[in-house]
Amino acid sequence: MEEYDLIVIGAGSGLDVASAAARQDMSVAIVEDGPMGGTCLNRGCIPSKMLIHRADVMRTIKGSERFHIGSEVTDTDFTAMIREVSETVDDDAESIERGVRNTDNMTLYKEEGRFIDEHTLQAGDEEINAEKIVVAAGTRPFIPPVDGLEDVDYLTSKEALRLEEQPGHLVVLGGGYIAAELAHFYGSLGTDITIIEMGDTMIGHEDKDVQQQFTDVFSEEYDVYLNHKATAVSEDDGTITVEAENRGGELIEVSGDALLVATGRVPNTDRLAVEAAGIDTDDHGFIEANEYLETSTDGVWALGDIVGNWLFKHSANYEAQIVFENAVLGHRHEVDYTAMPHAVFSEPQVAGVGYTEQELEDDGREYVVGSYEYGRTGMGAALKDDGFVKVLADPESREILGCHIIGSDASTLIHEVLVAMRTGNGTVEDITETIHIHPALNEVVQRAFNQV
């Protein structure tokens, strides 16, 4: 049995802990059966955003007539796009792996790890042990129990980012952010899109006004079936047919030459056999970790998607910092999720932080609302953007409770609100009393806060 000071399971944000621990002269084992860099680099944030930028370029060209500029797309090399992005991602992953293998006190096990006991893992043919273990093994796509689905050559987000032949018609199960981003990519490049969503709207975790506007925009652009649940899937001579039923029992059939399943994520705790280590999980299989990101087993910490607090790369990176300080340096720093933001890189773009209006309503909390439309600002009018900024605030303390943006550069505009909530006073005045450049687009944020 090989003994180490630290074992890190997962080579995404867990690598941050492993590398920092190695710099502290600890012997570190990394257990990862996939490419280095985890979900974000290989099958998530990085390749999807690189491809989405190409979709954004296409939409800019096709939309130029709105500004009385004639344009024409004469050629689109879909395969070259995919290959270029895939090669970039693969080169980065291979570079990270070389760095790990060339570090004297780091050992890489390219195997799926499984717990044998509290501090021992089986990694391929070897058993490895450490006093300290960090579990950062992430999640994988959830595959719903739909009759016939397992017999069909369907796509998940992993395959959809490396599909070298562009489908003519893509059917999408699910209406969350992964579905929205991939529909935007394929749809912008000319693929017909049909979306089947169980809920009343798409992107159902967003503020209700954002949900509605986003759904309206997508429904104009694509075929969107809301309140429908897929009941059966079949394939015949390259054509995939999905049967779906609405709440009234009415059935529809939709056929395409590709099917994307984007119905959520599940944690990889089952593959790790965490029960053998005495690590507690919740009803959905996510690891239960306390405010120090400690698990129920002494000497075992967890971070990232497998914890299930926030399934974002930026939150995983933050958690890795906390785990390093606590597990490696011996500190007792609590995790602080104040102003944890998110974004959807679709068209329109979406970003948000804090409470949604429906959450405040459910909690019975008093609040005031301020909102402002992009088109009522100089730059918003120049862009011909129909987006808006919505602010939720406490009527007495003037604390910022939430901010939600839909429209151009939403993921960038949200950041002054994040700074105010995280490191400022966290009040409306942090924004309203800041001088904003005129006529920059960020005036729409200031004016929404002025409305409060």
Instruction: Give the Cα separation of 130 and 137 in Å (integer).
Output: 17
Question: Residue 349 carries which DSSP code?
Answer: -
**Contact present, 155 and 142 (Cβ < 8 Å):** no
Q: What is the Cα 86 distance to its own chain's centre?
A: 19
Which amino acid is residue 36, in one-letter code? M
Which amino acid is residue 258, in one-letter code? A
Instruction: Give the Cα separation of 128 and 130 in Å (integer).
Output: 7
Q: 261, 406, 414: which is closest to 346 by C-alpha?
A: 406
Assess whether 68 carries a catalytic annotation: no
Which amino acid is residue 15, in one-letter code? L
Torsions phi, psi for 221 (to 5 deg): -90, -40
Phi-psi map region of 152: left, alpha, beta (phi>0 left; psi -120 to 50 alpha): beta
Of 53, 205, 284, 438, catalytic: 438
Cβ-Cβ contacts under 8 Å for 260 (sequence gap 6 or more): 154, 155, 156, 157, 160, 170, 171, 172, 173, 179, 182
Report whether the peptide linkage leading into residue 439 is cis, meaning its omega lies within 30 degrees of zero: yes
**Contact present, 16 and 326 (Cβ < 8 Å):** no
Question: 200: helix, coil or strand?
Answer: coil
Please give the structure tokens belonging to residue 185: 């990519």
Q: Which residues are catalytic?
A: 438
